[in-house]
Chain A
Amino acid sequence: MAIRGIDFRTLSLMDALDLAILVEDEAQERYEEFAAQMEQHRTPEAARFFRFMAENEAKHGRELSARREQLFGRTARVVTPAMICEVEAPDYDAARAFMSPRRAMEAAFASEVKAHGFFVEALPAIRDAEVRALFEELREEEVEHQALVQAELAKLPPDSGLADEDFVDEPAAQ
């Protein structure tokens, strides 16, 4: 359940913008957590990529926030972080110790696909024309994000076919 307590049929433009900002905030926070996990487990390449994703989410969040402020000023927010859950943020299970940059990028790509699916699923229920236009825009941005990750993937040397686990020692018995 990615959304709780939100009725798309009656969603206002302000609430839709707030929801989109929270989605970006959550994804940014999750990527920062993943980067910290990778740094903790001495996996700097994957950490760098997750920081890159966190910065992208933050940038998108700032753009949406500026738009929200321009349209609605500082009107109190009704949508809360508790109402959204892992819309664009990768699942915690997507991270692994010693994950390769390729695997990190694949995890991010899966999350962008998930976010795209969220907007595709929500759209038929939306009645307000402005909200619909915003969700269509956000849906297309998720496609752009996928392209961004794919561009990063393309920069990598060809896949060796080896799994990350092939480079990790078996856990030692105590």
Chain B
Amino acid sequence: MPLNGTTYEYQPKDYKSDLKPIWCPGCGDFSVVAGIYRALAAIGRPPHEIAFVSGIGCSSRIPGYTTAYGFNSVHGRCLPIAQGIKLANPELLVLAAGGDGDGFSIGGGHIPHLIRRNMDITYIVMDNQIYGLTKGQLSPTSQKGRSTVTSRLGSLEDPVNPLLYVLAYGAGFVAQASPTDLAGMAAIIEEAIRYPGFAFVNIQSPCVTYGDESQQIKGLKAIQESLESLGHDPADRLAAMDLAQHYGSKLHLGVFYRNPAPPPTYGDLVKERQEQAAKDALPRERILELFIKK
């Protein structure tokens, strides 16, 4: 750790807490947290300048495994809480994380509002297509026909497509990663954090206990393809939406969309409004004049 007045190059282990993860051995989330340590080291902000908020679920344990300020909050509510933290303390680097159920079922209604405000928050979804913590129920991203404890004869529902979901609402940064490429995943998370605004990273993170065979590492490797190798231009939103439609059949890794001209963040606009309002504001000792008629 740095001493006052000295420069210090942060290493991934500086973001690793003493808490031992209790995920099942082989869980994709081990790679995700390792990718986050690497990304944070590359960004180089000290842990006390980072707030990490999650919802509920296996993956939502993740803030506890980092040395950042952490809040393992309420099911589906990590985004509004992260938003409150960011507005109250704009200097903090704010990360939000959770699973596909937390993000796209219980918390699905919160996502559009952070996108339309362009909140400067990085949202990482560990998408395993199942409710793992509660032992294998159908989740919003489970494939149609999937047999689970709550869909014995196969799911009748089409899955939510997380990539199209956020692209359609106008997210400025949308990417997908996988534990099949840890270094690539770390680079994508780093890029998401550096984006000035709402950044979404969908990570196909296999559940080794309740996950479908096709969603394990071997299955993911068989369908993965880097967007860069396809010659995809991340500034082309329509092309991104076209590629995002392959969610579930292909695993495209990389940045789908990065707004080349990011709009101001909500935090920037609030600050501007506060500065404007402060110009006309009465000094504190005259504040009662607003309420008392003379």
Contacts and interface: CB of A to CB of B under 8 A. Distances in A.
Given A81-B12, A173-B135, A174-B149, A92 B26 contact: yes
Contacts of A33: 30
B9 A97 contact: no
Given A37-B25, A97-B26, A171-B135, A92 B179 contact: yes
Contacts of B77: none
Contacts of A82: 12, 38, 41-42, 186
B26 A174 contact: no
Nearest to A43: B25
B25 A95 contact: yes
Contacts of A93: 26, 28, 31, 179, 206, 208, 216-217
B112 interface: no
A31 interface: no
Given A40-B20, A92-B26, A96-B26, A86 B182 contact: yes
B256 to A, nearest CB: 20
A1 interface: yes
B25 A171 contact: no
Given A36-B20, A174-B135, A1 B26 contact: no
Contacts of A81: 11-13, 41
A67 interface: no
Contacts of A86: 182-183
B21 to A, nearest CB: 8
Contacts of B206: 93
- Of the four ranges (under 10, 10 to 19, 20 to 34, 35 or more), the interface on chain A belongs to 20 to 34
A13 B181 CA distance: 28
A34 B12 contact: no
Contacts of A1: 181, 183-184
B22 to A, nearest CB: 6
Contacts of B248: none
Interface in B12-50: 12-13, 20-22, 24-28, 30-31, 34, 38, 41-42
A54 to B, nearest CB: 15
A40 B22 contact: yes
A86 B31 CA distance: 11
Interface in A153-174: 171-174
A173 B136 contact: yes
A80 interface: yes
Contact of B31 (A36, A92, A97): A92
A85 interface: yes
A171 B136 contact: yes
A29 B208 CA distance: 22
A9 interface: no
B209 interface: yes
B247 interface: no
B101 to A, nearest CB: 14
18 contacts: A2-B183, A37-B25, A41-B24, A81-B11, A81-B13, A81-B41, A82-B38, A82-B41, A82-B42, A94-B26, A95-B25, A96-B25, A96-B26, A99-B25, A171-B136, A171-B210, A173-B135, A174-B149
Q: Considering the complex of A and B, which 4 residue pairs feature the smallest CB-CB distances, nearest first?
A: A95-B25, A85-B183, A173-B149, A92-B30
Interface of B: 9, 11-13, 20-22, 24-28, 30-31, 34, 38, 41-42, 134-137, 149, 179, 181-184, 186, 206, 208-210, 216-217
